[in-house]
Amino acid sequence: MKPSEVSAATSALLGELVPKYMDPSAVAIVEGGIPETTDLLEQRFDHIFYTGNGTVGRVVMTAAVKNLTPVTLELGGKSPVIVDSSANLKVSAHRIAWGKWLNAGQTCVAPDYVLVDEKVRDAFVEELGKAIGEFYGENPQASESYARIVSPRHFDRLKGLLRGTTPAIGGVSDEGTRYISPTVLVDVDLESQVMNEEIFGPILPVISVSSTDDAISYVNAHAHPLALYVFAENKKVVREVLSRTTAGGVTVNGTILHLTNPNLPFGGIGESGMGGYHGRAGVRIFQHMKPVLTRGTKLDPSLTYPPYTARKEKIFRKVL
């Protein structure tokens, strides 16, 4: 196991606990940054499992190719939310707010942006604001339920995404504590940086669309996401979204929960990753199914052996 160097305290804790509670001959912890990762990737493994961004995912896969090592890559990406005009806006806002601002948006399946029917956009944004207030109070910075950004580098990156925007909700930050409030953006330039890189933080762009077709077209014009969420009471809309889009996994009228079901494999597709895990699928990816056939020796019919005569061919044709 090679934990992220970004969360050094967690990495150190794993380094302390894993040898204590797990078989050290089976599980080892390697701490460090790029040099340690590079050294690890030069080793010949039976399988490599990587969770992280696509840039490093490509590095991992390139290194694995040298030894023809199979890989499982869980890479994230921009996970879209489609909110139809038939959706229950209050419930939708609560579930999207929960999924987005859980751990301050620092999860690989956090809703990255919302495509909402233009007829209900303003009402939806209003419900989002109410949900934020219910979850974190008037001052989320004082809430024990609201997280902070993991590192100064990521804090600066997220601040950069907000540069030049006018948040409809939030936009408050504090560098000293790496706090960025739950933030909602509207009237977003689709060519802006915030719409073209994975946010991985508490910023949620809300984009108006005129129809489900427009929402589907926008999603399909971009890389396949790790997760996709659709909110609609209209079952035809749900079927349309499911049948015409491609994603690692989907939750209908909810967020994130598809990955909590141990009976469902979790993973990406295309640029969001390859391979599925969790539950039985998580065991299978580390296994090789070795077929074994054992024949008896009491009978050894010559039918399958040369020479292949016309009589043998006739028998074969009857059998097959």
The half-sphere exposure of 307 on its side-chain side, counting CA atoms within 13 A, is 3
Give every strand in the sheet of 79-83, ordered side by side: 183-186, 203-209, 111-117, 79-83, 227-231, 249-252
Catalytic position from the list 108, 127, 198, 271: 108
**Separation of alpha carbons 140 and 180, rounded Å:** 9
Catalytic position from the list 5, 16, 42, 74: 74
For residue 74, indicate whether it is catalytic: yes
- CB count within 10 Å of CB 263 equals 8
For residue 108, indicate whether it is catalytic: yes
What is the Rg, in whole angstroms, of the alpha carbon atoms belonging to the chain? 25
Least Cα distance to 60 among 79, 85, 43 occurs for 43
> Angle between the 212-220 and 235-244 helix axes, to the nearest 10 degrees?
20
Which residues are the active-site residues? Answer: 74, 108
